[in-house]
Chains A and B, each alone.
Chain A
Amino acid sequence: MTAAGGGPALSGTGAGHAPAGLTARSRAPRLRTVLALATVEASLLVRSVLALAGLLAGAAVIWLLARSAQPLWWRADWEIGAGQFVLGMAVLVSAQLAAGRPRRDAMAGLYASFPATAGTRTLAHLAGLAGAVPASLLLLGAAAAVIEVRGAIGAPSIAVLAGGLLLVIAAGAAGIAIGTRFAHPLAGVLGAVALFSTSATSHLASGGGIWLLPWEILQDQLGSLPGRLAGYPPAGAHALELAGLAVLAGVVALAVAAGRARPRAWLAAAGVAAVAVICLAGALQLRPVPAAGLNHLVSEVADPASAQRCASAGQVRYCLYPGFGSLLPSLEAPVNQVLAHLPARPARPLTVRQVVPLDLDSTLTHGHPGLEVSRWDARLQRAPGSDGAAPASAIYLPVGDWPAAGGQLADAHFDLALAAAEWAAGLPGTGGIFNSSESVQCVPLDQAREAVAIWLAILATRPPAGELQAGLGGLETGRGFHGVQARGTMVPTWNYPGEGGSYVTPPGGGAEDTAAGYLLANAMTSLPQQKVSQVLRSAWGRWLNWRTTDAQLAAALGIRMPGFRLPPPLRPGFTPPPGTTAGNADQPGPQTPVCAS
């Protein structure tokens, strides 16, 4: 060793010279290094607490979205996508942390001394996103299994499900791009928040523009459709865009990692290709939903009979859209139970029919002429159930609202049984129309047939007593009550289980059940069923007459008419309804709230 200015010079042993063909040799181990590093990174990602949390949160989101209604695959696969979105946010944060690890841990200097370059490491991080695939597939598989077990209708779309997986990968690639530039852990969190905010604010986009955010699933009417509608949402284009975004994020990450190094042609080419794919996918997503598909949909909705398949059982016909046949046993059970307890079959038939509460918003109609859209709207306005009511001989079931299991299914069964019982008892409905002050034309107040209908529904489905009692709203304890105004009279009412669930549109829009009617029906359930049946059978026609009162039925059954005390204060000018301790009305007059038909 020597230095100018003195000191002994050392002879040169062990020195070497630059070997020829070094570039080729340098690249040879790169692929193996990428694969080995990617394996480690994938393993870290698989075991990441963040990814696990994302998996659980994603599963929770899918459950929250899909738990209530009967699963429809054309909606459920997008709900799985929503879960993948949550997992994707977790993978984004996790990937950012991994990519920023050397700088965050003050190891950039050491890493710079390794033969594996920053580009090699970034490539390995990108390949290591394979570690997110098991979590994504697990989420998909578990959700699909649960959805199938719950009796899913239709079939899943491979494009939609693949889009979910691509979403996770694209989010991870974005995380790596962020982490390559910004090592601070908050950078990934901010990235995830930004991703989420684009989803949360996507309602600002209108028409087809909304589909430019492939992670958006909430602004749609998938749950209202009677089947899959081609091009709505554009799943294939979504998947294409997500793939393009994943590649673009990867290119950005590699470009950032390369820093001042000479830009590589293949990287630039990949970036250009990714942008081209994204643009192409965007153009595809902005295309209108095919008019033929929309025409067919409008026809199916406006004229369900043209598309539905009907099955008859006695006087009842069940008409369901193709693919919904598996619902039939769930619909027949409560109706058959009601029919089984009827002393006599009603004269008129009943149709239980699925209807589609479709609103042609701009996500469906974008790109179509206004005239065409007006025609579709006009046809839909005449569609069954579009006014929230059903004819006196029909029960409507809005597509997508029928629950799959649990308490909601029990409520839906009760609602269907009550609707069938009201049809059997000939109770007139409110027409489904309430004005702004919760006022109805009439109520079946003090009419024995109402109590009979409620008793039949209770008998058919046996709901928990507490749930039935809760419908009084505290009336039994004098703490409050539910009520409606009918022709200027406030009438205490009873909210039946599942009333707010809109599982069923009863005949005529359904009767407004009174508290008095429920209380008498409840008293009837405490009697031997045989005794009640005998009394009803003995004068069935009389009990169905609107003039027959609760008191008369109670007397025939040998029970005291249940009463209740209205809680003070009631509004000025209140007319106490019949059947209460506050007053009585023997006959319906011009201002009477009682339904006189």
Chain B
Amino acid sequence: MTLNVGTAAVRADGLSRRYGAIRALDEVGLALERGITGLLGPNGAGKTTLLSILATVSEPDAGSVSVFGLDPRDAAQRVEIRRRLGYLPQELGFHRHFTVAAFLDYVAILKEITDRRRRAAEVARVLAAAGLEGRARTRIRALSGGLRQRLGIAQALLGDPDLLILDEPTAGLDPEQRLRFRELLSGLPGNPVIVLSTHQADDIAAICPRVVVLLQGRVRFSGTPAELAATAAGRVWAAGERDAGAHLSWRGGDGRWRHVGDQPPPGAELVAPTVEDGYLLLSHAAGAR
């Protein structure tokens, strides 16, 4: 896959990565602009691999990445990329004996925020942004899973990164926390490049102007959520009975069946498709290949 754009904040071209016999990424190309991009895909689609490459944590077997015009293959440029990066890995451990504030302070130093006052202000800022102000002195081992996830998000926000890579940031968050997270991302200053992977299609629909669907190591869709939803136009319908010809069917709260499939039966009652519908159809199509 090759790009056909000239300038983008973050570009990936022909990225491939294998883990033994498994092809995690297969010539992936991306061009990311400032703003939020959602990365959708099932488990094992290569989302985490892609994000770790964009975060300069791992290297592709083939292909290239450019972040703000910098090449991560060059050591000095890689460091420069990292200076502008905020990253939340999918499975983040913690120094559990640290307090929340001490952990953030430590990470801030690792992000080269060496001025003590600036660091303290930055820690206070991200604590407030993540809603952890009252937990500053709490040891991490005493935090719940949701609070730890918020702490992970907080550390990624340190230093006002230009590029924010969040691997499943809403995992473990309760509904209110997810809404707060949406609010937090929407209010970030400086219009950074944000890439977040998630299984939550409604998160994508709610806050992402752009969405990329990654299936079996390949980009299957790249566009707006509306465009993704539009891919399912005319292929989502409602009926009183289950339709065996649909790929997926489920009974809604009103007792009627909602069907997603390639071909609705004649005279079917078509309904407006959602991002989730579009994703499901893409996923099914990829699985059929």
Contact = CB atoms under 8 A, between A and B. Distances in A.
Interface of A: 1-19, 22-23, 25-26, 29, 32-33, 35-37, 40, 101, 105-107, 109-117, 121, 261
Interface in B80-126: 80, 82-83, 85, 87-89, 91-96, 105-107, 109-112, 114, 116
B32 interface: yes
A26 to B, nearest CB: 5
A29 B79 CA distance: 11
Interface residues of B, number: 62
B193 interface: yes
Interface string B8-49: 110000000000000000000111111001000000000000
B110 A4 contact: no
Given A7-B222, A112-B57, A16 B93 contact: no
A2 B114 contact: no
A29 to B, nearest CB: 5
A25 B76 CA distance: 9
Contacts of A14: 9, 33-34, 68, 162, 191, 193
B95 A101 contact: yes
Contacts of A40: 105-106, 109
B172 to A, nearest CB: 15
A323 B68 CA distance: 75
Of B2, B29, B76, which is in contact with the most chain A CB atoms at under 10 Å from its CB? B76
Contact of B222 (A2, A36, A111, A116): A2
A19 B82 CA distance: 15
Contacts of A26: 75-76, 79-80
Given A7-B223, A12-B33, A109-B52, A115 B68 contact: no
B222 A3 contact: yes
Contact of B114 (A10, A23, A32): A32
B156 to A, nearest CB: 9
A12 B5 contact: yes
B184 interface: no
A103 to B, nearest CB: 9
Interface string B43-62: 00000000010011100000
B213 to A, nearest CB: 10
Given A16-B69, A26-B80, A116 B110 contact: yes
A8 B223 contact: yes
In terms of DSSP, what is the predominant structure of the interface of chain A? loop
B38 to A, nearest CB: 11
15 contacts: A1-B33, A1-B37, A2-B222, A3-B222, A4-B2, A12-B5, A14-B34, A15-B69, A16-B68, A18-B71, A32-B112, A109-B57, A112-B57, A115-B110, A117-B79
B111 A22 contact: no
Interface string B227-247: 100000000000000000000
Given A1-B210, A4-B2, A110 B114 contact: no
Contacts of B1: 3-5
Nearest to A23: B76
Contacts of A105: 93-96
A117 B37 CA distance: 28
B71 A12 contact: no
Given A4-B29, A9-B31, 10 more contacts: A1-B212, A14-B191, A16-B70, A18-B74, A105-B96, A106-B93, A113-B82, A113-B85, A114-B107, A115-B82
A34 B186 CA distance: 34
B221 interface: yes
Given A7-B223, A113-B82, A115-B79, A2 B57 contact: no
A10 B4 CA distance: 10
A18 B69 contact: yes
B263 interface: no
B92 A3 contact: no
Contacts of A35: 114
A4 B220 CA distance: 10
A116 B111 contact: yes
Nearest to A19: B80
B219 interface: yes
B285 to A, nearest CB: 13
B111 A36 contact: no
A1 B221 CA distance: 10
B114 A15 contact: no
Contacts of B212: 1, 3
A1 B111 contact: no
B200 to A, nearest CB: 20
Nearest to A4: B1
Of A6, A7, A101, which is in contact with the most chain B CB atoms at under 10 Å from its CB? A7
